[in-house]
Amino acid sequence: MAHQEGRVALVLGASTGLGRAVAEELARGGVRVAMGSRSLERVEAAARDMASEGGKVLPLETDVGEPAHIERAVAAVLKEWGRLDILFFNSGGPRPGSFFDLSDEDWRKGEDLTLMGFVRSVRAAYPHLKAAATREVPAHIGVIVSSSVKEGIDHLTLSNVYRPALAALVKELARTLGPEHILVNAFAPGRFATRRVEELDHETARRRGIPVEEARQASVARIPLGRYGDPAELGRVAAFFLSPANTYVTGQTIFVDGGMVRAL
């Protein structure tokens, strides 16, 4: 892993699961990490654990569905550490459901939490990333998407629509921000052992009238490596692409899925 000492990151959606794993791996590499989520209590608990392992962390109450919270989080990072080198955007997944299960409000909320939350975060972070970036040590933006970028997932219509939109936006931003030495990549998880996947397994079991364990086994059976991922496995991959070692990969969606997605 390239040297990350001196760099500063803002990781949103960071109290548990994949976002937390990315924050932890960055902190382990010496990055000062501001971490946001809706619940100050949860994000403070995560920050305490990380600080006890030597991480330099700043917990922030930040709901990515609230534009003012995003602005506030970026301002807090600048006040605390005076720079920003890495933005990593994550949030809760959109509401499960098929097309006819979803109301206008569900669509609006799904868009706000995935696409627009990212749009607003990039806008707020941009001037500071630009100020920090050089040709030799670029600034980095990362965003969590999903395997639905390549293959639609049953009963996850909102993910199937908004995740590909995010991947397209990452391509667009790579072209817009490349000349400023800001690299932008998406990370597509397959199935990781997190609260979200636990909830989705319960939802599948309820819908199909089967035990949760059976739903889980059917899901695992689609993964060549034969297991759900550990969030740390995604954290390590993301931390590499967000590090100074990555000076030339931008606009990509990087799949971290144990081989699950069959599409090229």
Ligand X SMILES: NC(=O)c1ccc[n+]([C@@H]2O[C@H](COP(=O)([O-])OP(=O)(O)OC[C@H]3O[C@@H](n4cnc5c(N)ncnc54)[C@H](OP(=O)(O)O)[C@@H]3O)[C@@H](O)[C@H]2O)c1
- What residues make contact with ligand X under the rule CB under 6 A? 12-19, 37-39, 42-43, 62-65, 90-93, 113, 144, 146, 189, 191-192, 194-197
User: Which lies closer to ligand X via its Cβ, residue 92 or residue 138?
Assistant: 92
Residue with tokens 């109450």: 61
Strand, helix or coil for residue 221: coil
d(CA 22, CA 90): 10
DSSP state of 90: -
Q: Smallest distance, Å, CB 133 to ligand X? A: 25
Whether 117 contacts 109, CB under 8 Å: no
Burial of 229 (0-12, 13-18, 19+ CB in 10 A): buried
Q: Smallest distance, Å, CB 179 to ligand X? A: 30
Q: Smallest distance, Å, CB 3 to ligand X? A: 27
User: Which lies closer to ligand X via its Cβ, residue 29 or residue 93?
Assistant: 93
Q: Smallest distance, Å, CB 236 to ligand X? A: 15
**The pair of three-digit structure tokens given for residue 156, joined into one six-digit string:** 């996850």
**The pair of three-digit structure tokens given for residue 103, joined into one six-digit string:** 């109301």
User: Which lies closer to ligand X via its Cβ, residue 16 or residue 157?
Assistant: 16
Strand partners of residue 60:
36
User: Which lies closer to ligand X via its Cβ, residue 4 or residue 194?
Assistant: 194
d(CA 65, CA 188): 21
d(CA 74, CA 92): 20
User: Which lies closer to ligand X via its Cβ, residue 90 or residue 204?
Assistant: 90
